[in-house]
Structure 1
Amino acid sequence: MTTEEIASLINIYFDNMAAMNAKGWLEVFAEDAVIHDPVGEPPRLAHKDSQQFFKILANFFEKIELSKDDIFFVKNGAAVKWTMQVVTKKGHSVTTEGISIFEMNDVDKIQKVSSYWDEAAMMTKLKG
């Protein structure tokens, strides 16, 4: 894949995550894609678990903003340093950072995402 093709998939991933649009988000994933978000938690299957995941997001968050701060490309993937700002339905907001590793398959879909960030710390700040 070219860096432009990889960047396009990553943009669709982040744009649809911020929009909490499960359908658009799923379009870039292989049927058997696996997501480790955050790494250390049980992995999710993108297609099987997406509806529940996006339902949780929509019930808890009013707004999600994601910026791709740096992207490092390799042959069939990329690492993205990102910043996320969220606002809950109750009006609490927090900013957090992380790095996501994207692996693409041979048919130009995302096969695996591994995200490194401290979700527990973010949730603690939102409840505090």
Structure 2
Amino acid sequence: MPTSDQMKKALQSYVDGFDRGDAASIVALFADDAVVEDPVGNPPISGRAAIEEFYTNAVAAGSRLVLDGPIRGSQGNAAAMAFTVEVPAMNVRIRAIDVMTFGDDGRIVKMQAYWGPDDMEQ
């Protein structure tokens, strides 16, 4: 199981990938059979190809993440971060909390994004 520090570093790499506009570096953090639920309640996206398409589109829209506080680890296999995503192509900001669950190899196996309509602003 990855350490809290390893999970925090992976989440920072996730944020950094958005800052660089580098979808490939974001996708590389995920296991081949990972699941993305963004936001929670939407149908999950699963598998490498679907996750790659999801993040390629997010980066193409100019999405950038601004952390609202430190990344949080755990004594288990998950870590979380609160942030604001700015999407210039849609002229929107979304306040979100992402919870990532990790496999034993340190790659993300599940990403759950917690945000709703009240967390969006133009």
* TM-score above 0.5, yes or no: yes
How many corresponding residue pairs? 119
Cα distance change of structure 1 residues 67 and 55 upon mapping to structure 2, 3 Å threshold: closer
Cα offset, 1:86, TM superposition: 2.0
Pair 1:69 & 2:59 matched: no
Q: Counterpart of 1:115? A: 113
Task: Name whichever of 10-19 and 93-102 sits farther off.
Answer: 10-19
User: Which residue type is aligned with residue 105 of structure 2?
Assistant: V
**Equivalent residues of 2:96, 2:119 under 8 A apart:** no
Cα distance change of structure 1 residues 28 and 52 upon mapping to structure 2, 3 Å threshold: closer
Q: Which has the higher strand share?
A: 1
- In structure 2, the gaps of 5 or more residues are none
Query: Highest Rg: 1 or 2?
Result: 1
Query: How do residues 88-127 of structure 1 correspond to structure 2 at under 5 angstroms?
Result: 88=89, 93-118=91-116, 122=120
Task: Name whichever of 49-58 and 16-25 sits farther off.
Answer: 49-58
- In structure 1, the gaps of 5 or more residues are none
Query: If the length of structure 2 is used for normalisation, what is the TM-score?
Result: 0.80
Query: If the length of structure 1 is used for normalisation, what is the TM-score?
Result: 0.77
Cα offset, 1:103, TM superposition: 0.5
Q: Which has the higher contact order (CA 8 A, sep 6+)?
A: 2
Structure 1 distance, partners of 2:13, 2:51, is: 15
Q: Counterpart of 1:24? A: 25
Structure 2 distance, partners of 1:57, 1:101, is: 18
**Equivalent residues of 1:82, 1:98 under 8 A apart:** yes
Structure 1 distance, partners of 2:66, 2:15, is: 8
**Equivalent residues of 1:65, 1:86 under 8 A apart:** yes
Task: Name whichever of 24-33 and 112-121 sits farther off.
Answer: 112-121
Cα offset, 1:68, TM superposition: 2.2
Q: Counterpart of 2:14? A: 13
Structure 1 distance, partners of 2:86, 2:55, is: 17
Q: Counterpart of 2:46? A: 45
Structure 2 distance, partners of 1:76, 1:121, is: 27
Task: Name whichever of 34-43 and 75-84 sits farther off.
Answer: 75-84
Cα offset, 1:69, TM superposition: 2.0
